[in-house]
Amino acid sequence: MANGDSPWLALKLSVDVGYDLVSEHPEIEGYYRAGMSHRQIAGVIQRNGGFGRKITADSVREHAVQYALTGNDRGDAGKVYLGLMDREEYDEISAQHRRKSGERSSTLCKNEEKGIFNLTEEEIKKGIEKSCMSRGQVPWKKHEKEEAFSLREDGFTARSIAERLNRKYHDGGEVRNKHAVNGMFGRERRR
């Protein structure tokens, strides 16, 4: 059976292999507690010939490790069995793994001056503007925001502010509406 033929077959195979791993490789629990990921644990087992079946999909091996750790409580996906850890403890360790992974990634980006960490404030603003435009939105310009605040101070409603801004800055097109104006006010207030 090819592992990638059907998601359902892949799930069932992961559950079945996980069941076998519980008895054949109880050391999986120790690996996970020590900070290894499902992928790393699956790699160790694969290198030691521990899967006992020809499994070509990495995702099936990784999910099998997860099932070995947590067990399977869904009878429709195969055997129902207890894993090497109880679910609560697994979830706690899993959250620790995600935190550590996020910390490593952000440290790596900072050290290598990649990602948002290497951008100036101006570059970030340009990126946000480009993102808005790619979604078909029209970013707010500084002078447009200033005028909106001025109109609000003069007692204009969000709807009338939107109409005025559309006439003045957007050739009468319906770019701004009362929701966009109120949203901008809220975002600016939170800054």
Indicate whether 80 and 16 sit together in one domain. Answer: yes
Residue 57 lies in a domain: yes
Indicate whether 80 and 135 sit together in one domain. Answer: no
pLDDT above 90: residue 165: yes
For the four alpha carbons of 116, 122, 125 and 129, in that order, the dihedral sign comes to: negative
- The number of distinct structural domains making up the chain is 2
Mean pLDDT on 100-122 = 70
Residue 114 lies in a domain: no
Indicate whether 15 and 74 sit together in one domain. Answer: yes
Nearest 10 degrees: Cα torsion 15, 21, 22, 23: 130
Q: What residues have CB less than 8 Å from 87, skipping those under 6 apart?
A: 70, 71
Indicate whether 80 and 132 sit together in one domain. Answer: no
Rounded distance, CA 132 to CA 165, Å? Answer: 18
Mean pLDDT on 17-43 = 89
Residue 112 lies in a domain: no
Indicate whether 17 and 81 sit together in one domain. Answer: yes
pLDDT band at 2 (very low <50, low <70, confident <90, very high): very low
pLDDT tens readout for residues 74-92: 777 788 999 999 889 989 9
Residue 101 lies in a domain: no
Of 178 and 116, the structure prediction assigns the larger pLDDT to: 178
Residue 176 lies in a domain: yes
pLDDT tens readout for residues 31-69: 988 888 888 898 888 887 777 666 778 888 889 999 999
Q: How far is CA 118 from CA 99, 109, 121, 129, 132, in A?
A: 22, 8, 10, 18, 21
- Domain residues for the domain of 159 are 121-190
